[in-house]
Amino acid sequence: MATWQIAVILVKIFLIVGLFQGAVAYMILLERKIAAWAQDRIGPNRCGPLGLLQPLADGAKMLLKEDVIPGYVNKPLYILAPAIAIVMATIGFAVVPFGPAGLDAPTVNGNPIHFQIAPNVDIGILYVFAIGSLAVYAVILGGYASNNKYSFLGGLRNSAQIISYEIPLGLSVLGMVMLARSLELNDVMSWQDRNGLGPIPAWGVFVQPLAFLIFLVSAFAETNRLPFDLAEAEQELVGGFHTEYSAMKFGMFFLGEYLHVITVSFLTVILFFGGWDAPFLGVEDTSWIAAVLKVGVIFFKVTLMVIFIMWIRWTLPRFRYDQLMNLAWKALIPLALLNLVVTMVLIQLFRGVG
Amino acid sequence: MLPNYGFIGLLLLAAVAFAVAPLVVVALVAPRKWSVEKGEAYECGVRTTGETWVRFRIQYYVYALLFLVFDIETIFLYPWAVSYLGLAEAGFGLFVLVEMVVFLVLLAVALVFAWAAGDLRWV
């Protein structure tokens, strides 16, 4: 591998990680603004114009506040938990394309520049799910190590919740995988671009509407966002698994959660909203202008998705725990299996030979 | 192929750096004033009583067992799903379809059994 390739990859890593950590800071501001809008308040407006410097103030506060470690905690695990949250949230993004990648990538002197940190990793989406399920260790270890009954309950609830919702999450994307014949996310995107019917694009949300609903619900549960934030549940568990965390370690849990929201938004957009696919952009167009436009389109869609996730938080009340488990096991998993069977029968009917 | 996974390794290194850096910075700049009250476990202002790491209800284990079954099923489905359309176009579609339906029915029976046995009822 040439030196310039390593340079490109390092630039990509620092650009993406830096951009997303900055984005998370502003997502918290955005979330507070949306909360204020939903509750007819004004929201943060003291730091800078429209509160735009609020993230800086938050960051300074997290760094400069006392980092209390309670006396009864299991110290190594207590410190390890927020670190796991950040590491898993960051590396989960490795195979997610944020623009044209793989065969559709633009080239410099014949060398393709992929808009993806680790291009051509053929397990693609399986890797994202694998890392996503490792993220649960942050919550379980945090809840266990805190030696606090609220935290322990939060961690326990979360472990059962995440493993339950992982199954419909994994099953729901199989339809798109079958159609695109690949686990790589950029192949799924170019499939959606190539197979449109005239002006109607073959976006996953049209091709696999049931899978989209299942995926969306499971994704909310996987990111611990309302209406599924049983692990935190302020009204019953104080803060849930992060009750005993303060200052930067608390911030790291939050950073991990919001990075997870970004990754899930990317996945939703790529699998079900065509990724960079727009009416005026085709997969054949591998020029640099098209590439920049595609990156713009995908980031625009992801922003809308993030806003949607925040909007839902202030719209729906929290589930009860038995309802949560019933939804996963008695509704989503049978529906996902049904969707799978229907998809494969339809494929056999329309595309099968003999 | 290997270099592509190497990129994930590079990102992992960067991620570990991003996770360790704030911990180190906080250890250097944040104030530290220890007191007995701060070291207490948080519980409505009264001293906590009893063990925290207690035995918990069996139902969590039941869900964990069911999860194992279905998660491994999902893993088996992935390679099948990738090659299915190609096989269908090559004329092996019906055979592969029936095989997979048999597999799914076996698993659906497991789910129905757990459902009927009341294991999915959260009490």
Give B81 to chain A, closest Cα distance, Å.
Answer: 5
Instruction: Measure the CA–CA gap between A110 and A310, rounded to whole angstroms.
Output: 42
Who among B14, B67, B91 is closest to A17 (CB)?
B14
Residues of A with CB below 8 A from B113's CB? Answer: none
In a domain, B122, yes or no: no
- What CATH number does residue B40 fall under? 1.20.58
Assess if residue A29 is contained within a domain: no
> Cβ–Cβ of A17/B82 closer than 8 Å?
no
Reply yes or no on whether the pLDDT at A97 is more than 60.
yes
ipTM (interface pTM)? 0.85
For residue A98, give the DSSP letter. S
DSSP state of A116: S
What is the tally of structural domains in chain B? 1
B33 with A330: Cβ contact below 8 A:
no
pLDDT at A354: 54
CB atoms within 10 A of CB B12: 14
The answer to whether residue B46 neighbours chain A at the CB level (below 8 Å) is no
Looking at every residue in chain B, the average pLDDT score rounds to: 82
* Minimal CA separation from A214 to chain B, in Å: 15
Cβ-defined contacts of A201-207 (< 8 Å, 24+): A201/A274, A201/A277, A201/A279, A202/A274, A203/A272, A203/A273, A203/A274, A203/A277, A204/A176, A204/A271, A204/A272, A204/A273, A204/A274, A205/A272, A205/A273, A207/A175, A207/A176, A207/A179
Residue A7 lies in a domain: no
pTM over 0.90: no
Q: Could you count the other beta carbons within 10 Å of the beta carbon of residue A196?
A: 16
pLDDT of residue A304: 92
Closest residue in B to A255 (Cα) is B19
Does residue A140 belong to any structural domain of this protein?
yes
Taking CB atoms and an 8 Å limit, are B8 and A247 in contact across chains? no
Residue A218's domain comprises 65-350
Q: What is the pLDDT of residues B62-84, one digit of tens each?
A: 888 888 888 888 888 888 888 88
Taking an 8 Å cut-off on Cβ atoms, the answer to whether B93 and A354 are in contact is: yes
Q: How far away is chain A from the Cα of B19, in angstroms, using its nearest Cα?
A: 5
Q: How many domains does chain A have?
A: 1
Does the beta-carbon distance from A70 to B38 stay under 8 Å? yes
pLDDT value of residue B90: 81
* CB–CB contact A67 B120 (8 Å): no
By the CB < 8 Å criterion, does B122 face chain A?
yes
| Ranges A61-75, A102-116, A119-133: which has the least confidence | A102-116
CA angle A224, A227, A232 (to 5 degrees): 50
- Please list every residue in chain A whose beta carbon sits closer than 8 Å to the beta carbon of residue B94: 348, 352, 354
What pLDDT does A212 receive? 92
Are A117 and B42 a contacting pair at CB < 8 A?
no
Question: CA angle B95-B98-B101, nearest 5°?
Answer: 150
d(CA A103, CA A112): 8
Give A243 or B20, the one with higher predicted confidence.
Answer: B20
Interchain contact, B41 vs A126, CB within 8 Å: no
Residue B106 lies in a domain: yes
Q: Is residue A234 part of a domain?
A: yes
pLDDT of residue A5 exceeding 80, the answer is no
Is B43 an interface residue toward A (CB < 8 Å)? yes
Q: Has residue A54 been placed in a domain? A: no
Q: pLDDT value at position A214? A: 92
Count how many residues are written for chain A.
354
Q: Of B85, B102, B123, which to mutate for an interface test with A (greatest number of A Cβ within 10 Å)?
A: B85
Percent of chain A with pLDDT over 70: 97
Q: Are B7 and A117 in contact (CB under 8 A)?
A: yes
The mean per-residue pLDDT over the stretch A197-207 comes to 79
Question: A13 to chain B: which residues are within 8 Å by CB?
Answer: 10-11, 14
C-beta atoms of A149 and B52 within 8 A: yes
Q: B16 — contact with chain A (CB < 8 Å)?
A: yes
CA distances to A62, A294, B27 from B30, in Å: 9, 43, 6
Mean pLDDT score, A249-270: 88
Q: What is the mean pLDDT of residues B91-100?
A: 84
* Closest by Cβ to A91, choosing from B12, B30, B38: B12
B interface test, pick of A12, A21, A123, A177 with most B CB neighbours within 10 Å = A177
| C-alpha distances in Å from residue A244, one per residue of A145, A332, B99 | 10, 34, 51
Residues of B with Cβ-Cβ distance to A337 under 8 angstroms: 104, 107-108
Q: Is there a domain that residue A59 lies in?
A: no
In this predicted structure, what is the pLDDT of residue A233?
A: 67
Average pLDDT, chain A: 84
CA distance A205 to A308: 16
Chain A contact probe: residue of B24, B42, B61, B115 with most A CBs at under 10 A = B42
How far is A42 from chain B, CA to nearest CA, in Å? 31
Residue A157 binned pLDDT confidence (cut-offs 50, 70, 90) = confident
Nearest residue, CB atoms, A87 vs list B15, B42, B81: B15
**CA dist., res. A69 & res. A159, Å (int):** 24
Tell me: the pLDDT tens digits for A27-70? Answer: 888 888 888 888 888 888 888 788 888 888 888 888 888 888 88
Q: Is residue B29 part of a domain?
A: yes
pLDDT digits (tens, 9 = 90+) for B13-65: 888 888 888 888 888 887 888 777 777 777 777 777 777 777 777 788 888 88
Percentage of residues in chain A having pLDDT higher than 90: 7
B13, part of any domain: yes
pLDDT at A93: 85
Give residue B58's domain range: 2-116
Q: Is the pLDDT of residue B1 over 60?
A: no
| Run of H or E residues at A195 | none
Asked whether B77 and B84 are in contact (CB, 8 A), the reply is no
Give a yes or no: residue A44 inside a domain.
no
A8 assigned to some structural domain: no
Q: Is B8 on the interface with A (CB under 8 A)?
A: yes
Is pLDDT at A3 greater than 70 in this prediction? yes
